[in-house]
Amino acid sequence: MRLMPWCGIAVAALTISGLTSAGTSAPQVSAEPASQPALEVMTDDGPLLVTPEGKTLYMNNADFNTPGKSNCSNVPITTWQDTQGDFGKLSVLHPEAQKACTDKWPPYLAPANAQPVGDFTIIERREGGRQWAWMERPLHFSIRDTKPGDRFGAVFSRGVRRGWAFASRDKPMVGDLRLMRYEDSIVLSTSDLRPVYTPTKAMVRRAAICGNCNEEFKPLVAPLLAQVKGDWAVVGAGPGRAQYAFKGKPLFTPPDTLTDQEIVLAGDWEPVVFYKGKGRPGAIGIGPSLLGDVYTDADGMTLYQFDCTAGGVSCADPGDPAGYWAALCGLAAQCEQRWPLYRAEAGAKPRGEWTIVDVPVPLYTDPRGFTYPKGVPTVKAWAFRGEPVYRHYRDKKPTDVRGHWTQWLGFSNLNAIRVPGRGER
Amino acid sequence: MVLKQLIPARPAAKRLAVVVGCAGLAAGLAPPSVLSAQSGKSARAASRTIGFVVTNWYNGFVLTPDAAECSLGVQKGEPLQARAQPGFEAYIRQFGGSYETRGPNGEMGSFNPDVVKDPLPWSELTTKTGYGLNLDGTQDGRATAKTCRHEKFTSPEGEMVDHQMARAIGCVKGYRGDGNQETNGAGMIVTSPVMRRLLEITGVDDERNDPEVTVTFYKGRDGLRRTGNGQKWIADQSIRVDYRFPQYISKARGKIVDGVLTTEPFRLVVPTGNVTFLIGEVDMEGTRLRLKMNGEDLSGVVAGYQDIDLWYMTHAKGVTSGLSQYNSSSIHKALYRFADGYPDPKTGQCTRISTTYRMTGLRAMIVHSEQRDRIKGIARAD
């Protein structure tokens, strides 16, 4: 029997299958059999599949409707179709250097004697070789990940970046709850990706004053005899009703009339954290912008990131054509002036998804050449999920987002980095 | 704080009802900044506050079918400019790129207008008729301390008005009538949290004639809703001021004559765009309003001198130059060629351009409250 502090009603905490949060900042390996080609681990991006060596696995969105088949080819795509300008088929920049999908997303190959196990099957690749698939979807690595534990190929729980997502299972939990990224943590959410909430301590204190002060927040109702286990419980929600609770916190769904940002700013309700992230360094802030909350530098100025896709693969990696940058901001010196790197101070320490990387200055010497030229001095810069971050010269006040959506349609862009789960609605 | 001073103590839940229900009526509920701007009239018991939410906002151009008012028809956009640029098509077919990357180093004209050259001629706006207001106070557009020499339009009412923005973009397909920039803009009033604009008139003694009122623009926090069948806006919706962004509060002195609201010049800054793509600001110095109030509705013109750099930066990001037939480099040059306001003291080059928007509005209850007030029962409980 557990006494729930919110309602003062003692209820039975019974058993049901469901995820249990790790509750720590270190990834936890689940107790999957070692013979499986991948394990599910809890990370700052939710429960993800990794190899037994800890390398993160990814799935191609293009494979979603073609079970058992890989759409990631080892042949580079060097042309694109210009429909707006009506020029027909045109070449990508530097077609001779264009990378194939498998160059950027190496397949997770299975040994010759490997056998299917559980949800893991094996597909034959067109160019030869056997590849692990999970629930019929081929598994890949990202070249952005250089060591076990890196997760730079995709973003956020169930998020898609450049057409790729982490290999993860959308696992409904009790009350049809899901997991979603919220700032640096994983929180419980409704099926339409809104966090569920629990009253803050201040709100609980106020409850004595205002009575039923949660009337716009609906209890996540549970059958009175629902069976739950672990961190989950069923607590009373008034006469004849029960609601789910997680780690002793009663769960409520928010009203449509309030945005999540508004709710949190009010300070009376907080999202229910399933997995606490590692936070961010002191050099990185969060502030409200017209886009919703964005990440900022230490002075509150908005941080931006470069993104690029050509021939179906990223063109934002070191050594990709500089022309994708030059289209937006011209010669390297001009780009540097318009989009200054957010340099890391000496002694700065990485934290969470914020790391420190070496970036050449200038980023390229020839706008018709390639980025990260050899023999160019480098500086230490802050990086979000492995990629350097920039400020914009037109931003004058904290959280201005004047640089947002600087884009070459269909190829490259620079966008403000939004805080997960804190968008404007 | 304000509530505690003005409203007798009552249970917290009841107090909230007062905030939401009466905010549009009682000037006394407005924040101190609003109160202070109402000068001597704020003390008059009979003065009322009227709120509107902006329901449309678009360029005030005089358009004729087939762009007959443009010397060469609509401007030739980037794709046609690219085809006309000697050797360019052969180059991108061999080395890659798109019609947008016409600069010497593959730069896009949108973000690098100075290095891209448009080979095709500019289509001049030839009409002498235009919407707007006489912003510079002259009849002939001669240079003044705050303006550069320019040609005036004659409004349908026979007034000599300033609207140089029409000369810069009035012949661009995307900004004309059903052009995608115009229709996107109108749609964003509904869909974009950025485009929620509120106009409040305080100190109103008589809605038909009042020699002294205060007009304030705010960024709104709540979306605008239509009736169930989607045909009409719902009047008198309660919409909160978005106090997270004080930079988007613009205030002016005004008056109402025969139901027409006009203002003295003021600086208007409102955000524009959409959270899914372009974001920017409309920043207009010397702005004046002429808006006719008709029952629930409000319509008329907003005219002022728009910051050229901000305008260009916003629109260069947002336009699809193929669909809009937007010719970045030529437009950038035209904006400065036709600029008529706020000359740079060193160079004499005007930095702003007279611009007229047409807008419509609908009565709304403007709620001056912190966001937490929406959570019933906890308003001001502490």
* Residue B49 C-alpha, separation from nearest chain A C-alpha, in angstroms: 25
Residue B66 main-chain phi, psi, to 5 deg: 60, 20
pLDDT band at B155 (very low <50, low <70, confident <90, very high): very high
Select the residue from A79, A203, A210 to test the B interface by mutation, using most B Cβ atoms within 10 A. Answer: A210
Structural domain includes residue B379: no
Q: Give the SS3 label for residue A215.
A: coil
pLDDT band at A73 (very low <50, low <70, confident <90, very high): very high
Instruction: Return the number of CB contacts < 8 Å for A and B.
Output: 159
Chain A CB contacts of B97 below 8 Å: 90-91, 93, 323, 327
Q: Give pLDDT, residue A227.
A: 82
Higher pLDDT, A224 or A21: A224
pLDDT band at B370 (very low <50, low <70, confident <90, very high): low
Q: Which residue of A has its CA nearest to B312?
A: A402
Q: Report d(CA A421, CA A217) in Å as an integer.
A: 18
Q: Report d(CA A422, CA A264) in Å as an integer.
A: 9
Chain B CB contacts of A292 below 8 Å: 275
Higher pLDDT, A19 or A358: A358
Chain A CB contacts of B321 below 8 Å: 84
Q: Give pLDDT, residue B14.
A: 30
Nearest to A95 among B96, B275, B318 (CB): B96
Percent of chain B at pLDDT exceeding 90: 61
pLDDT higher than threshold 70 for residue B16: no
- A212, two tokens: 């039923």
Q: Across the interface, do B275 and A292 touch by the CB < 8 Å criterion?
A: yes
Q: Give pLDDT, residue A18.
A: 35
- A393, two tokens: 């010269």
In this predicted structure, which of A109-118, A258-267, B74-83 has the lowest mean pLDDT? A258-267
In contact, B328 and B316? CB cutoff 8 Å: yes
* Residue A298 C-alpha, separation from nearest chain B C-alpha, in angstroms: 20
Q: What is the CA radius of gyration of chain B?
A: 23
Q: Give the SS3 label for residue A186.
A: strand
Select the residue from B14, B85, B107, B323 to test the A interface by mutation, using most A Cβ atoms within 10 A. Answer: B107
pLDDT higher than threshold 50 for residue B264: yes
Is the minimum CB–CB distance between B275 and chain A shorter than 8 Å? yes
Nearest to A90 among B92, B106, B377 (CB): B92
Structural domain includes residue B204: yes
Closest CA to A308 of A104, A74, A49: A104
Is the minimum CB–CB distance between B245 and chain A shorter than 8 Å? yes
Chain B CB contacts of A290 below 8 Å: 193-194, 245, 271, 273, 275, 279
In contact, B116 and B329? CB cutoff 8 Å: yes
Note which residues in 24-83 of chain B have CB less than 8 A from chain A.
78-79, 82
Nearest to A290 among B115, B194, B310 (CB): B194
Q: Give pLDDT, residue A212.
A: 52
* Residue A99 C-alpha, separation from nearest chain B C-alpha, in angstroms: 15
* Residue B90 C-alpha, separation from nearest chain A C-alpha, in angstroms: 10
Q: Give pLDDT, residue B122.
A: 96
ipTM topping 0.90: no
Q: Across the interface, do A328 and B111 touch by the CB < 8 Å criterion?
A: yes
Q: Across the interface, do B279 and A291 touch by the CB < 8 Å criterion?
A: yes
Residue A302 main-chain phi, psi, to 5 deg: -60, 140
Select the residue from B80, B85, B92, B98 to test the A interface by mutation, using most A Cβ atoms within 10 A. Answer: B98
Q: Report d(CA A21, CA A231) in Å as an integer.
A: 8
Q: Give pLDDT, residue A346.
A: 95
Is the minimum CB–CB distance between B2 and chain A shorter than 8 Å? no
Q: Report d(CA B358, CA B133) in Å as an integer.
A: 11
In this predicted model, what pLDDT tens digit does every residue of A278-322 receive, in sequence order? Answer: 999 999 999 989 988 999 999 999 999 999 999 999 999 999 999
In contact, B248 and B219? CB cutoff 8 Å: yes
Q: Across the interface, do B381 and A210 touch by the CB < 8 Å criterion?
A: yes
Note which residues in 50-89 of chain A have CB less than 8 A from chain B.
82, 84-87
Q: Which residue of B has its CA nearest to A425?
A: B193
Structural domain includes residue B50: yes
pLDDT higher than threshold 60 for residue B371: no
Q: Give pLDDT, residue A13.
A: 29
Closest CA to B355 of B41, B6, B60: B60
Collect all residues with Cβ–Cβ distance below 8 Å to A86 and sequence separation of at least 6: B79, B322
* Residue A417 C-alpha, separation from nearest chain B C-alpha, in angstroms: 12
Structural domain includes residue B112: no
- Average pLDDT over every residue of B310-335: 83
Closest CA to B130 of B292, B301, B294, B315: B301
Higher pLDDT, A61 or A378: A378
Q: Give pLDDT, residue B48.
A: 93
Q: Which residue of B has its CA nearest to A213?
A: B377
Higher pLDDT, A218 or A157: A218
Cα angle for residues A81, B88, B106 (degrees, 5° grid): 80
Q: Report d(CA A88, CA A79) in Å as an integer.
A: 10
Higher pLDDT, A11 or A170: A170
Residue with tokens 């101070």: A345
A224-233, B23-32, B233-242: which has the highest mean pLDDT? B233-242
pLDDT higher than threshold 70 for residue A133: yes
Q: Give pLDDT, residue A323.
A: 97
Is the minimum CB–CB distance between A208 and chain B shorter than 8 Å? no
- Provide the domain count of chain B: 1
Collect all residues with Cβ–Cβ distance below 8 Å to A64 and sequence separation of at least 6: A137
Single pTM value for the model? 0.86
Q: Across the interface, do B79 and A326 touch by the CB < 8 Å criterion?
A: no
In this predicted model, what pLDDT tens digit does every residue of B274-292 receive, in sequence order? Answer: 766 678 899 999 999 999 9
Note which residues in 243-262 of chain A have CB less than 8 A from chain B.
257-258, 262
Cα angle for residues A335, A339, A343 (degrees, 5° grid): 120
Domain extent at residue B12: 2-75+122-374
pLDDT higher than threshold 80 for residue B76: yes
Chain A CB contacts of B84 below 8 Å: none
Nearest to B372 among A266, A321, A326 (CB): A266
B178 sits in the region (left: phi over 0; alpha: psi -120 to 50; else beta) called: alpha
Q: Across the interface, do B100 and A409 touch by the CB < 8 Å criterion?
A: yes
Q: Give pLDDT, residue B47.
A: 87
Note which residues in 138-197 of chain A have CB less than 8 A from chain B.
none
Q: Across the interface, do B96 and A367 touch by the CB < 8 Å criterion?
A: no
Note which residues in 169-198 of chain B have CB less than 8 A from chain A.
193-194
Closest CA to A57 of A134, A113, A130: A134
pLDDT higher than threshold 60 for residue A76: yes
In contact, B156 and B164? CB cutoff 8 Å: no
Select the residue from B15, B81, B111 to test the A interface by mutation, using most A Cβ atoms within 10 A. Answer: B111
In this predicted model, what pLDDT tens digit does every residue of B174-202 receive, in sequence order? Answer: 888 777 667 666 777 777 888 899 999 99
Higher pLDDT, B185 or A66: A66
Q: Give pLDDT, residue A29.
A: 38
- A226, two tokens: 């629902």
Closest CA to A269 of A180, A191, A188, A178: A188
Q: Across the interface, do A85 and B97 touch by the CB < 8 Å criterion?
A: no
DSSP state, residue A301: P
Q: Give pLDDT, residue A19.
A: 39
Closest CA to A323 of A335, A337, A313, A338: A335
pLDDT band at A12 (very low <50, low <70, confident <90, very high): very low
Is the minimum CB–CB distance between B115 and chain A shorter than 8 Å? yes
Structural domain includes residue B346: yes
Closest CA to B321 of B111, B85, B70: B111
pLDDT higher than threshold 80 for residue A394: yes
Is the minimum CB–CB distance between A408 and chain B shorter than 8 Å? yes
Collect all residues with Cβ–Cβ distance below 8 Å to A8 and sequence separation of at least 6: none
Is the minimum CB–CB distance between B243 and chain A shorter than 8 Å? no
What DSSP letter does each residue of A97-162 carry, written as one string? GPPPHHHHS-B-BPPTT---BTTEEEEE-TTS-EEEEETTEE-B--TT--STT---SS-STT--BT
Q: Across the interface, do A84 and B323 touch by the CB < 8 Å criterion?
A: yes
Chain B CB contacts of A422 below 8 Å: none
Note which residues in 309-348 of chain A have CB less than 8 A from chain B.
321, 323, 326-331
Residue with tokens 């207001």: B133
In contact, A277 and A25? CB cutoff 8 Å: yes
Buried b (16+ CB within 10 A) or exposed e, B306-340: bbbbbbbbbbbbbbbbbebbbbbbbbbbbbbbbbb
Bridge partners for A252 per DSSP = A197, A219
Q: Report d(CA B314, CA A298) in Å as an integer.
A: 26
Nearest to A367 among B78, B105, B244 (CB): B105
- Average pLDDT over every residue of B6-17: 32
Q: Give pLDDT, residue A206.
A: 66
- B269, two tokens: 């800054």
